[in-house]
Amino acid sequence: MTGMNPTRAAVRTIPDRLESPARRALKSWETLLLAVALAIFIANSLASPYFLDPWNLSDATFNFTEKAMIAFAMALLIIAGEIDLSVASTIALASTAMGAAAQLGVGTPGLVAIGLAVGLACGAFNGALVTGLGLPSIVVTIGTMSLYRGISYIVLGDQAYRGYPADFAWFGQGYAFWVISAEFVLFALFALLFGILLHATNFGRAVYAIGNNATAAAFSGIRVGRVKFILFLLTGLMSGVAAVCLTSRLGSTRPSIAMGWELEVVTMVVLGGVSILGGAGSIPGVVIAAFVMGLVTFGLGLLNVPGIVMSIVIGALLIAVIALPRLWRKWRG
């Protein structure tokens, strides 16, 4: 037994798989995000006397619920190794279609159906190009980002659609009970559904497997193309849902609607702990990241910070959450 260093053996660390669930939870990214969210909440309450008003807190949820609903689907897509940068333009196209239908007298159920159908169609088109032709998703969706937004500009120009039915406003302006908005209820419902889909189903396990190694996943019997196509469909559908909520909340449609949202959605997903390279991430992390971003933007708004500064903050946040893990690994050696 010569050569053994008993002192070194005595301080050997416990492997991750033998750590208690409580210890792993304390070391998780989600726990860090919760701490950040709490710190931002306290800072906002100290910075503005209006922040803790229940109705103001309710209004704060409008800063992230629509984007977060897209982020849930985007999280699955990025975990699978793909991305969709056309989500904001899909909102614009779906909103334009709903606005045109409203001018023809279509009622609220029909408008909702049109918004969801356009979102699904956009997602199907993206998915077909990526899975059917084997094109890179980032290239495809940069192209469709311009395509969908361009169609809206061709149809509307510098005009706007108004005159939506009165009951259509409920989706973006209505309240389910007291200060809890209808949008927030939808956000919570979709968080639960996507959480179950990713973390408690065979489909979710297939998404992780594809993100880690698509070739190995295919050899293990997973239909990679079909799974990715479904993910593009879900992302398009959630963009349609966001289009319904946002159009309802604004009460009008312009071709510039949701401009720049693709950056904020991707930032929300990556901030939530989803690896931009695929194969890792969680829905609870995205939920917490949505609250963090919502609190940041709402707090800055209460302080009358200009919108361009908020864009700088979002951009810096995206760079930071991508760079910090790598810098941390280098620092640890």
**HEC per residue, 73-138:** HHHHHHHCCCCCCCHHHHHHHHHHHHHHHHHCCCCHHHHHHHHHHHHHHHHHHHHHHHHHHCCCHH
Task: Report CA-CA distances (Å) from 112 to 165, 167, 211.
Answer: 12, 12, 33
Q: Is the pLDDT of residue 98 over 70?
A: yes
pLDDT for residue 17: 55
**Which of 3-7, 75-79, 210-214, 317-321 is predicted least confidently?**
3-7
Question: Is the pLDDT higher at 35 or at 78?
Answer: 78
Instruction: Give backbone dihedrals phi and psi of 196, rounded to 5 degrees, phi first.
Output: -65, -45
pLDDT for residue 19: 62
E-strand spans in the chain?
175-177, 180-181
Q: Is the pLDDT of residue 10 over 90?
A: no
Q: What is the mean pLDDT of the chain?
A: 88
Residue 333 and residue 85: Cα distance in Å, rounded? 35
Q: What is the pLDDT of residues 117-146, one digit of tens each?
A: 999 999 999 999 999 999 999 999 999 999
* pTM passes above 0.85: yes
pLDDT for residue 332: 57
Exposure of 249 by Cβ count < 10 A (0-12 exposed, 13-18 middle, 19+ buried)? middle
Q: Is the pLDDT of residue 149 over 90?
A: yes
Residue 315 and residue 273: Cα distance in Å, rounded? 17
Q: Going from the N-terminus, what domains does the chain have, and what CATH number goes with each?
A: 50-327 (1.10.3470)
pLDDT for residue 12: 46
Q: For residue 250, name the pLDDT band (cuts at 50, 70, 90).
A: very high
pLDDT for residue 13: 46
